[in-house]
A = this chain, B = another copy of it.
């Protein structure tokens, strides 16, 4: 067989070189290779619109292919619109299949921002801690045990195996009162907010904490939900302000560990928030984004346990395993289960079935708890190193919110946040100032500070990251 098709001169222009070899190497046999070679030649403009192709038998002879192979390939390309075949005038390159640029190479994507030299951004767990072996073992057990219907269209509530495992885990570890029937699996807390408010299961106005995740606010804005900021102090959000907010229908709180300032919500305020919801047909959304990670005593249980019919409890794997898994859950009051499922719909399982089954096994087998314990220890060590280093290098700087979570807040003297974050950027330190988390309508006094995530940097780079951070902090005040 010939391995190239050089210049069947008078018919298709003198510079055509139809080399089947590179296409053969991609597999699929000779016929597929011929099809690809022809498409490439037409697409790149080497075979111009209107050009007449050689009859089957000539091309077949030239290329050492069976006549049928060529005929079928022509037929395919006619069906696809590359070629046109007319009785009496043979097969030609379609007039419309004009080239879109000689071998079209799409513009490269604009480069993403350089990775920072030191990543102290909040919200990231340690990617190196992902328990690959345990995950794979759980996947093997789970996929082998799964019924066939797991690979069918799927239940919008999420797999029953996972809802059962989560009901047990959340009750045990987070004091959530639930059953598999009131859990709906989703792909994270932010998608849950989008579903609840974008799908009009819940409506605003929504009371939020004066400092919080800007990303959540932007989701709510996109859903046309007005947010009203609650004042924060050392005991968390002033829940009693809810009673004065006429018209508020829901409130979004981070009771276990206020994000980003770091304290747990005071017991009286937890009770007040529940009271408000009860007395005002309100809904309390509990964003339990890092509830497992409390270092100096047992984790604070959920507010949801106080009144499961008034609280929507939201959680995910983003801090405990990986944000790239896109797996989360809502624990819903009974009356919200159906509305949520209606909005979610049959086709929107969102979280893939393999991850759902795997997580169910990971929890039931005890490996999830083990992973939490191991990473909790690891993050506590990180936290201790951060506290110790700052006490030594910058004793004039107060560190708060260190009892829990994957980040701490470093309080700065008034007016210094902007210069410090600018200096950090110059030193390629990725770290957020408090200002970016502040609700635009917040009326409480603004505090200067940095939100320092300490989980993500690799071990070997952690010391250097902290050193770099200390280097951009304001000097101690002069003592006279």
Q: Does A94 contact B (CB under 8 A)?
A: yes
CA distance A126 to B445 in the complex (A): 61
CB distance A326 to B308 under 8 Å? no
Stretch in A3-11, A270-278, A375-383, A471-479 touching the partner: A270-278
- The stretch among A56-64, A97-105, A390-398, A405-413 that forms the contact with chain B is A97-105
Asked whether A79 lies within 8 Å of B300 as measured between CB atoms, the reply is yes
Interface centre among A39, A143, A153, A321 (most CB of B within 10 A): A153
Contact call A172/B36, Cβ cutoff below 8 A:
yes
Specify the chain B residue showing the minimal Cβ separation from A153: B323
Q: Does A132 contact B (CB under 8 A)?
A: yes
Hey, what's the 0/1 contact readout for A98-141 against B, CB within 8 Å counting as 1? 00100011111110100000000001100110101001100110
When C-beta atoms are compared, the residue in chain B nearest to A182 turns out to be B106
Say yes or no: A171-B100 contact (C-beta < 8 A), given A152-B127, A305-B43: no
Residues of chain B lying within 8 A (CB to CB) of residue A271? 81, 94, 96-97
Contact A82 B306 (CB under 8 A): yes
Q: Which chain B residues lie closer than 8 Å to A20 at the CB level?
A: none
Could you tell me if A190 and B334 are in contact, using CB atoms closer than 8 angstroms? Answer: no
CB nearest to A343 among chain B residues: B222
Complex Cα distance A277/B113, Å?
A: 34
Cβ of B136 and Cβ of A97 under 8 Å apart?
no
Closest to A183 in B: B106
Known: A139-B139, A298-B35. A106 touches B178 (CB 8 A): yes
Does A460 sit at the interface, judged by CB under 8 A?
A: no
CB of A148 closer than 8 Å to a CB of B: yes
Copies of this chain, tallied across the complex: 2
Contact of A179 among B105, B112, B305, B322 (CB under 8 A): B105
The residue in A43, A81, A321, A349 that gathers the most chain B C-beta atoms within 10 A of its C-beta is A81
Shortest beta-carbon distance from A71 to chain B in Å: 11
| Chain A 153-175 interface mask (CB, 8 Å, partner B; 1/0) | 11101000000000010011101
| A267 → B minimal CB distance (Å) | 4
Beta-carbon contact of A72 and B136 below 8 Å = no
User: In this assembly, does A191 line the interface, its C-beta being within 8 Å of a C-beta of chain B?
Assistant: yes
Interface presence of A348 (CB below 8 A): yes
Digitize A317-360: 1 where CB-to-B-CB distance is under 8 Å, 0 elsewhere: 00001111111000000100110000001011111111100100
Of the stretches A26-34, A240-248, A421-429, the one at the interface is: A26-34
- Contact A274 to B32, CB < 8 A, known contacts A308-B104, A352-B327: no
A351 to B320, CA, bound (A): 18
Residues 261-293 of chain A, each 1 if its beta carbon lies under 8 Å from chain B, else 0 = 000100110110011000000000000000000
CA distance A124 to B43 in the complex (A): 35
A215 / chain B contacts, CB cutoff of 8 Å: 345, 347
Is A15 interfacial (CB-CB < 8 Å)? no
Mask for A51-77, Cβ within 8 A of B = 1, else 0? Answer: 000000000000000000000100111
A359 to chain B, nearest CB (A): 10
Nearest to A84 among chain B residues (CB) is B267
Q: Which of A168, A300, A322, A352 has the most C-beta atoms of chain B within 10 angstroms of its own C-beta?
A: A352
Across the interface, which residues of B come within 8 angstroms of A300, CB to CB?
76, 79-80
Closest 7 CB pairs of A and B: A324-B353, A81-B270, A130-B151, A151-B322, A154-B324, A127-B151, A80-B301
30 contacts between A and B (CB under 8 A): A28-B173, A31-B298, A35-B175, A36-B171, A43-B305, A76-B297, A76-B301, A80-B306, A81-B303, A94-B267, A96-B271, A97-B306, A100-B307, A106-B179, A106-B182, A108-B181, A127-B152, A153-B324, A215-B345, A322-B353, A323-B347, A324-B349, A324-B352, A326-B349, A326-B352, A327-B352, A351-B352, A354-B354, A354-B355, A354-B358
Chain A: residues with CB nearer than 8 A to chain B? 26-28, 31-32, 35-36, 39, 43, 72, 75-82, 84, 94, 96-97, 100, 104-110, 112, 123-124, 127-128, 130, 132, 135-136, 139-140, 143-144, 146, 148-155, 157, 168, 171-173, 175, 177-179, 181-182, 187-188, 190-191, 215, 264, 267-268, 270-271, 274-275, 297-298, 300-303, 305-309, 321-327, 334, 337-338, 345, 347-355, 358, 366, 369, 456, 458
A96-B275, A132-B143, A326-B351 given; name 17 further pairs at CB < 8 Å: A35-B298, A76-B298, A77-B301, A79-B264, A80-B300, A81-B306, A96-B274, A106-B308, A107-B181, A130-B148, A139-B139, A148-B458, A151-B322, A152-B456, A154-B326, A188-B347, A323-B349
